[in-house]
Amino acid sequence: VPVDIVGEVKISSHLNMPDNAKAKFGTGSDLQIYHDGTNSFIKDTATNLVLNTDSLLVSNAANTENIIVAQGNGAVTLYHDNAVKLATSSAGVSVTGTVTADGLTVDTTTLVVDASNNRVGIRTSSPSSALETVGGDGITISNSGDTFLQLKTTGTTATNYIEFKDSGGSAGNISYNHTDNYLATKVNGSERMRIDSSGNVGIG
């Protein structure tokens, strides 16, 4: 039988409710709390379920292992088997372990991993090959700062080249000049061989 109570209700001991008996809140019973014999539920059909606290701790039933710890104006930490796996800080996010994702986008087009096609794009959101870079100065693979392999791209009206440079600064490259349509090879900074637009080969 429904009972209307005006004012406070104080319970000095326990409030025992059988399975599936619901504690309902709100004019339309928007918030309900109950246990169905196996699982416990907090069911909310309102716009938001708001939890106001300066410190949140979610642990296992025995209260021996952390699952989630969140501090107001501080870190949020996620655990697996009581070991920290993800933690926020003022500097960003720290992840411990392997990150598995079906895609990755950094700053829209800076770096895009298209996992569905197994492709990686730099400065492009839709890479068309296994690794594609669009714009910029090309790709540099460096060792000790000045020893590198560089794939230089300057567009279709200038010269593109693959350059090899040693620690002493000496460079060799294979370049293609789009303006005059020739392929050249340089050693130690000087051109040593060229294939011109007619297919003629010049050495030295």
pLDDT of 168 over the 90 cut: no
Token pair of 109, please? Answer: 């087009």
The reported pLDDT for the residue numbered 144 is 66
Confidence band (pLDDT; 50, 70, 90) for 149?
A: confident
Predicted pLDDT at 150: 81
Nearest to 77 by CA among 58, 63, 64, 102: 58
Half-sphere exposure of 96 (CA within 13 A, CB side): 11
pTM of this prediction exceeds 0.95: no
What is the predicted pLDDT for the residue at 73? 94
- The C-alpha angle with vertex 80 and arms to 78 and 84, in degrees rounded to 5, equals 50
- Reported as a single tens digit per residue, the pLDDT across 71-104 is 999 999 999 999 999 999 999 999 999 999 999 9
Compute the chain's Rg from CA coordinates. Answer: 33
Average pLDDT over residues 186-199: 92
Residue 188 has a pLDDT of 85
Can you give the pLDDT at residue 183?
A: 95
Share of the chain above pLDDT 70, in %: 96
- Bridge-based pairing of strands 190-195 and 159-165 is unpaired
- Are residues 186 and 171 in contact, defined by beta-carbon separation less than 8 angstroms? yes
Q: What pLDDT, on the 0 to 100 scale, is given for residue 3?
A: 82
pLDDT at 189: 82
